[in-house]
Amino acid sequence: MASGLGSYNIAISGLYVNERALDVTGHNISNVNTPGYVRQQAMIKNAPYINVSTGSYQIQQMGLGADLQQIRQIRNSFLDAMYRKENMTLGYWEARYKGVQEIESILADPMGEGLQDVLNDFWDAWQELSKEPESLTVRAIVRQRSQNLVHTINHIGSQLDKLIEDLNTEISVRLAEVNSITAQIAELNVKISSEELAGGTANDYRDQRNLLADRLTKLVNAEVSETEDKHMYITIEGFAIVKPNGNVELHLETEQNGTSHKITIGKNGVEAPLNNGYIKGLIDTIKEIEDVKEMLNKLVSTMAEEVNKLHRSGKTAGEPPADGQDFFVSAHSGQPITISNIKLNDNLKDLNNIVSSAGGGSGDNTIALAISGLRNKPIISDKVGTLSIDEYYETVILAVGHSGKEAFNILDGQTKLVQSIDNNRQSLSGVSLDEEMANMMKYRFAYEASSRAFNAIDNMIETIINRMGIVGR
Q: Do 344 and 146 form a contact (C-beta atoms < 8 A)?
A: yes
How many other β-carbons are positioned within 10 Å of the β-carbon of residue 10? 20
Region of residue 246 (phi > 0: left; psi between -120 and 50: alpha; otherwise: beta): left
In sequence order, which residues have a C-beta less than 8 Å from that of residue 321 and are 6 or more positions away?
315, 357, 359, 360
Query: What is the CB neighbour count within 10 angstroms for residue 20?
Result: 15
Residue 440 half-sphere exposure, CB side, CA atoms within 13 Å?
Answer: 12
User: For residue 42, what are the β-bridge partners?
Assistant: 71
pLDDT tens for residues 51-80? 666 665 665 666 677 777 777 788 888 999
**Residue 452 Cα to chain centre, angstroms:** 57
Give the three-class secondary structure for 440: helix
- pTM comes to 0.83
Alpha helix ranges (H) inside 35-76: none
Given a contact cutoff of 8 angstroms between Cβ atoms, the answer to whether 163 and 103 are in contact is yes
Q: What is the pLDDT along the chain (473 residues), one digit of tens a residue?
A: 455 566 767 777 777 787 787 887 888 888 888 887 888 777 777 777 666 666 656 656 666 777 777 777 888 889 999 999 999 999 999 999 999 999 999 987 545 568 899 999 999 999 999 999 889 999 999 999 999 999 999 999 999 999 999 999 999 999 999 999 999 999 999 999 998 888 888 888 998 999 999 999 999 999 999 998 999 999 999 899 999 889 999 998 866 665 567 889 987 678 889 999 999 999 999 999 999 999 999 999 999 999 999 999 988 887 788 899 999 999 988 899 999 999 999 999 999 999 998 887 778 899 999 999 999 999 998 887 899 999 999 999 999 999 999 999 999 999 999 999 988 988 887 777 878 788 888 878 877 787 777 777 767 776 667 766 555 54
Q: Does residue 244 have a cis bond before it (omega within 30 degrees)?
A: no
> Residue 251 belongs to what H/E stretch?
strand 250-254
The residue type found at 283 is I
- In angstroms, the CA 284 to CA 269 distance is 22
Query: Which residues are bridge partners to 225 per DSSP?
Result: 233
Nearest CA to 87 among 270, 210, 192, 226? 210
Beta-bridge mates of residue 71: 42
